[in-house]
């Protein structure tokens, strides 16, 4: 796209009323990184920084209507997928992505909330694996999500991460960003795999409880930056740098008493 054109980016995700994760966090991320945000609601949750107390599904026909109506009018330069919840929603979204010829797709395979609540039904995992991942330009699983997608043993080392990233690539996405935040130790490395080469993105672990929505924010940042970079690896690096700074600045916010949100507007608010 032309350098002077502001990208339009779409999030298809659930709504977290506390604003730290899901669609609301994605829209903040898009705005902070110079993209115009659009959103399609795939699920409703009752949620705060401490717990998810309820999930209300959105009728799949209405999800399809939201998508078809949006694509009929608005140029969409990248799409990010977050919480889809059920097999029916996964299938509906996959069909819409194909129908509207989406090419620049970032998939965050949301399965479990920070508070431990399951956000993707077990029967939907196979559908996500076979219907969504092959459409993706980039997927951003954490280690527990990778273990579920691969049905593999626990991933405990950087060597395990490298092997898992290559196995995830075999499921169809063009690039895998396997996040290492669940590893033990002072570092929080990510592994990027494009099927040919692997790149490690190191980062020091920031000691904070404010990690609500970190996965949502990283994938949204990648989606916002992809249309603004010729090289997807450069977009991923910039997205990780943004997230790391947002986590470091999270103490400036006072939102809830549990896992607080990252500071999406850390460079804009004084």
Q: How many domains does the chain have?
A: 1
- Tell me the pLDDT tens digit for each residue of 211-254: 999 999 999 999 999 999 999 999 999 999 999 999 999 999 99
- Tell me if residue 215 is catalytic: yes
The answer to whether residue 156 sits within a structural domain is: yes
Is 116 noted as a catalytic residue in this protein?
no
pLDDT at 115: 59
pLDDT category of residue 111 using cuts at 50, 70 and 90: confident
- What CATH number is attached to the domain comprising 78? 3.40.1190.20
DSSP secondary structure letters along 146-168: HHHHHT-----SHHHHHHHHHHH
> Is the predicted pLDDT of residue 98 greater than 90, yes or no?
yes
Residue 175 domain-assigned (yes or no): yes
- Identify the active-site residue in 45, 179, 180, 240: 179
Which range marks the domain in which residue 72 is found? 8-251
Catalytic residue, from 216, 240, 244, 260: name it. Answer: 216
In a domain, 193, yes or no: yes
Q: 249 with 210: CB under 8 angstroms? A: no
CA distances from 125 to 150, 196, 203 (A): 10, 26, 30
**197, exposed or middle or buried, with CB in 10 Å at 0-12, 13-18, 19+?**
exposed
Q: What is the mean pLDDT of the chain?
A: 94
The answer to whether residue 266 sits within a structural domain is no
Q: What is the pLDDT of residues 26-76, one digit of tens each?
A: 999 999 999 999 999 999 999 999 999 999 999 999 999 999 999 999 999
| pLDDT given for residue 117 in this prediction | 63
Cβ distance 243 to 33 under 8 Å? no
Q: Report yes or no on 166 lying in a domain.
A: yes
Q: What is the pLDDT of residues 184-212, one digit of tens each?
A: 777 788 999 999 999 999 888 888 999 99
In a domain, 51, yes or no: yes
Residue 240 lies in a domain: yes
């Amino acid at each position: 796209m032309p350098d002077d054109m502001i990208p339009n980016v779409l999030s298809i995700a659930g709504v977290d009323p506390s604003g730290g994760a899901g669609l609301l966090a994605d829209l903040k991320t898009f705005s902070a990184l110079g993209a115009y945000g659009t959103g399609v609601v795939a699920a409703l949750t009752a949620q705060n920084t401490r717990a998810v107390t309820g999930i209300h599904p959105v009728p799949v026909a209405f999800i399809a209507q939201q998508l078809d109506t949006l694509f009929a009018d608005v140029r969409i330069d990248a799409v990010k997928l977050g919480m889809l919840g059920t097999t029916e929603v996964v299938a509906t979204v996959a069909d819409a992505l194909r129908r509207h010829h989406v090419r620049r797709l970032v998939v965050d395979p949301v399965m479990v909330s920070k508070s431990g609540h399951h956000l993707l039904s077990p029967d939907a995992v196979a559908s996500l694996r076979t219907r969504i991942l092959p459409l993706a330009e980039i997927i951003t699983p954490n280690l527990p999500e990778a273990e579920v997608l691969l049905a593999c043993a626990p991933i405990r080392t950087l060597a395990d991460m490298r092997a898992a990233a290559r196995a995830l690539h075999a499921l169809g996405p063009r690039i895998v960003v396997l996040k290492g935040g669940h590893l033990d130790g002072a570092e929080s490395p990510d592994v990027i795999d494009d099927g040919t080469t692997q790149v490690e993105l190191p980062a020091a672990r920031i000691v904070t409880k404010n990690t609500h929505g970190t996965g949502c924010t990283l994938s949204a940042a990648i989606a916002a930056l992809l249309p603004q970079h010729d090289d997807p690896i450069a977009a991923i690096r910039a997205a990780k740098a943004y997230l790391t700074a947002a986590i470091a600045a999270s103490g400036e916010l006072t939102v809830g008493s549990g896992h607080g949100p990252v500071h999406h507007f850390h460079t804009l608010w004084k």
